[in-house]
Structure 1
Amino acid sequence: MVARILTGKSIRGLINYNESKVTLGTATPILANRFGLDIEQLELRHKVARFEHLTKLNSRIKTNAVHIMLNFDRSENVEVDQMQKIAADYMDRIGFGEQPFLVYKHEDANHPHLHIVTTNVNPDATRIDMHNIGKTLSEKARKEIEIEYKLVKAEGRGREQQIVPVNIELALYGQKETKRSIYNVVTAVLRSYKFTSFAEYNAALKSFNVVADRGPEDSVMFQKNGMVYSILDADGKRIGIPFKASSLAGNSVLHKVEGKFLMNLEKRKQYAEPLKQVILETLEKEAPSKKNFINALEKKGISVVFRQNGQGLIYGITYVDHNSRCVFNGSDLGKAFSAKALLKNLEGNEPEMDKHQAHTPEVGKGRFSASQDMSQDDQTSQGESLLQFLFAKPAQEPIAALGPKRKKKKKKGLLRNGGLSH
């Protein structure tokens, strides 16, 4: 079992996050502690009011929301009644047994896991100390619970990489509700992947047939920091209705995405060298062609996204490492890993492709199948013309097309007030 504890400043936000998952059908509330009612009897207003009553007791405690995730190994079939016992036992061992808390079973990953929402404000208005709680209490509780409930042992923090936090399902148009498919991919990528730019964020999304679009730079949407998400078809073209980022629950809006860039820059550092080693080994072993290079890396869990300009010429490359969940621009890894150097070393590589001839394997054959040779983020496919038209500002006023305006001549004459100016 892997336990993760996060703190925040909005208990209402944590509840809304989990309740939105319930609405989408990817989570189920299974336990309510110290609420006076069973979980089935509780309405949203009851849940919010119970926590807000405590947080208002001490307005000086700003960080008063606690979000805990308990992840079980994918091989384990943990029943709901056992999850309830484990959650209650864990909370008691870390000092939250007398606090109100809600437990949700989430089903948006390939392993069983729970989300627990609570507050660190006691009924007497004192604060539960969260400093180093992971080392001092949570780690000890985790090990004891693993033994008592015969769970797969996490063997320390390194195990967290083995209990995979998410297995993102490809968004396939027509197979599931479009909005739900987009939401599942976006939420998982935001939570699990480490990207440092909008292009890198899109590279990760495209691996699962979703794309984020800000619109042309002169559009109202772009200038107001808006964004829409769409599903991609087998040819990498947008299909179906795009959805505004603000209509999706969670942190999918632009300023939330951009807020992760700087933080992820530090987080992904340790994974750069291992990725470079894999790329170099692949270049040495595989036949020197771009197609072989892409396919070989895909088998190792690494998607390759070539970026193209409006004329279809490749100008950049992005690597999406699904093993470490890190996204790297080729140039960030070094000159040898840039698109220019790579294409030069791959003898016999295919000629530069036109933007409408980008090769993408059939969707559905593999987890990373929609990530190859996508066109530049701000280039749109034929099916996007309506969306561009709706968001774009007119380039000029209609009268401007008739010819340049003639300059008005200044009228000569005396100024008012007797020719004096103030």
Structure 2
Amino acid sequence: MVAVIKTGQSVRRIFHYNENKVSLGDALCIGERNYPADHNHLSSSLKINLLLNQLELNENVKRGSVHISLNFHPLEKDLNPERLMDIANTYMAEIGFSEQPFLVYQHFDAAHPHIHIISVKVKPDGRRIDMQNIGRNQSENARIKIEKDFNLIKAQGREKQVNYSLEPINPSIVSYGKIQSKKAVAKVLDFVLNTYQYKSLPQLNAVLNLYNVMADRGSESSRVFKGGGLVYRIVDKDGKQIGVPIKASDFYNKPTLRYLEGKFEENRIKNSRPGLRIKNEVRSVFQSETPSLQELALVLESHGITLVQRLAQNGSLYGLTYIDHVSKQVCNGSELGKEFSAAAVLQGCRNTKADVANIAFTSEFLKDPAIKILLEIQDILTSKNLSPQPLQEFISSLFEKEYPGSYLPAALRKKKKRRKRKGLSNN
């Protein structure tokens, strides 16, 4: 079992998200706790108003909503609503929420069984529940206890497998009417944003691209970029945009640029020693053979690590990003050390014609005096245990492909011709 805990400012938004799933047939409200009646006898207004009223007991709590998902292994079969409610009650008691009102929803929109729990972190007496490190401490203890008591497949200790948990969006069936597109993108975001440990927008896009999704700020001259906005797009395997962009603020959990920047910092703090498993797997490959770059990618993929090649506008390789689907870490080669950078990996690989061209490009790139200075500064920061991440992002941005936004200035737009209807005047 894997538990994901999120807090937010709007319990109403989380409630309507789950209720909308129920109305679409993708979920079912299976129970409640500390409500005056059974959930089958509660109207929607009564369900949400009890949570809102308790939240109002302490106006100092700004992020008072609690949204928890409990995710089970796909092979778990005996998970009927009664058993799921027993698991939910046990989990909430173990993390200190036994006296809190909460609603439980069983969702059917993923390949694995899972439930969502909605609550608030204000007690009936108005005191605030401290949730600092609750995921690392109380939730982890609750997980171990529940796996043992309910005889569930353990989240730790079993053989590690590559499990993407959901299928990439198929661009060929994207609906231009936005409803189905938004639903598909929301499903990807809900999984990726709270699972992987990305530390920059390019790193996040490296993961999202696996599901044919991209977070886009637009070009620097666009209105979206200047306003600090963000849109999400569906793309094909070549990065070509499909359908219409969807504003970050249109999704229920508001995955805006400001939200992502908070996640970047949180993940930087969390990973003081990034990529230990990635380093071991890469070194293991080179110790046993001299692979081509493509063969290296295939071997790593079989061990649960995706190797993403960062390409310049002329198609030449300038960087590598490693995505570990087991530890969920996302790391650039340069932050792991020189031996994992694009230049070093290419030098160590058995070179194909394409690799030889990439080595030549990379060598020319490294000869540039300005780039040499930047890389020296990066080495100094690393030696003094300071984060070189902002500098790495700057270097990456020099060769990053640009995806222009869809905004077009009014002066350049074609004016629509007004059709004169028969027998009517345009005046």
Check whether TM > 0.5.
yes
CA distance in 2, matches of 1:161, 1:7: 32
The answer to whether the 8 Å contact 1:213/1:227 transfers is yes
CA distance in structure 2 between the aligned counterparts of 1:304 and 1:168, rounded to whole angstroms: 19
User: Quick one: which amino acid aligns to residue 113 of structure 2?
Assistant: P
Structure 2 residue aligned with 1:391: 407
Mark the structure with the bigger radius of gyration.
Answer: 1
Q: Does 1:226 find its partner at 2:258?
A: no
Counterparts of 2:161 and 2:295, CA distance in 1: 31
Partner amino acid for 1:168? Answer: L
Structure 1 residues 214-223 or 49-58, which shifts more?
49-58
Q: Choose the corresponding residue for 2:292, options 289, 294, 309.
A: 289
The 3-state SS of whatever aligns with 1:259 is: helix
- Range that drifts further, 193-202 or 23-32: 23-32
Cα distance in 1 between the residues matched to 2:194 and 2:6: 13
Post-superposition shift, 1:82? Answer: 1.6
Query: Which residue of the partner structure matches residue 86 of structure 1?
Result: 87
What secondary structure sits across from 2:171 in the alignment?
A: coil
Letter in 2 for 1:379: E
- Indicate the SS of the match to 2:323: strand
| Amino acid aligned to 1:202 | N
Give 1:323 deviation, angstroms.
1.4
Q: Percent identity?
A: 39
In structure 1, the residue matched to 2:394 is none
RMSD: 3.8
Residues 320, 326 of structure 1: 8 Å contact kept: yes
Other-structure match for 2:338: 335
Distance of 2:47 and 2:159 partners within structure 1: 33
1:32 corresponds to? 32
Tell me the CA shift for residue 201 of structure 1. 0.7
Q: 1:210 to 1:241 in 2, by over 3 A?
A: same
1:306 is paired with a residue of what secondary structure?
Answer: strand
Q: Where does structure 2 lack aligned partners over 5 or more consecutive residues?
A: 175-179, 358-398, 413-427
Q: Provide the C-alpha distance between the structure 2 equivalents of 1:297 and 1:242, rounded to a whole number of angstroms.
A: 33
Which piece of structure 1 moves more, 81-90 or 132-141?
A: 132-141
Which letter does structure 2 place at the counterpart of 1:289? S
CA deviation profile, 1:239-264 (whole Å, cap 9, x unmatched): 23332222222142221112211111
Q: Residues 34 and 99 of structure 1 are in contact (CA less than 8 Å); yes or no, is this contact kept in structure 2?
A: yes
Aligned mate of 2:253, from 244, 250, 254: 250
2:267 alignment partner in structure 1 = 264
Structure 1 residue 11 displacement after superposition: 3.1
Q: Specify the alignment match of 1:379 in structure 2.
A: 402
Residues 44-65 of structure 1 show CA distances to partners (whole Å, capped at 9, x for unaligned) of: 4333321121122333455643
- Equivalent residue for 1:189? 192
C-alpha displacement at 1:313, in angstroms?
2.3
Q: Read off the aligned partner of 1:65 and give its amino acid letter.
A: S
Show structure 1 runs of 5+ residues with no match.
355-375, 381-386, 397-422
Question: Counterparts of 1:47 and 1:337 in 2: how far apart (Å)?
Answer: 53
Distance 1:340 1:22, change over 3 A: farther
Maintained 8 Å contact 1:210/1:230: yes
Measure the CA separation in 2 of the matches of 1:30 and 1:272: 40
Q: 1:133–1:216: structure 2 CA closer, same or farther, 3 Å change rule?
A: closer
The structural deviation recorded for 1:183 is 1.5
Name the SS of the counterpart of 1:35 in structure 2. Answer: coil
* Contact map agreement 1:94 1:138 (CA 8 A) in 2: yes
| Counterpart position of 2:167 | 169
CA contact (8 A) 1:312 1:352 kept: no
Q: Alpha-carbon deviation of 1:102?
A: 0.5
1:320 to partner: Cα distance? 1.2
TM-score (norm 2): 0.72
* CA–CA distance in structure 1, aligned partners of residues 116 and 327 of structure 2: 23
Q: Is the 8 A contact 2:293 2:355 kept in 1?
A: no
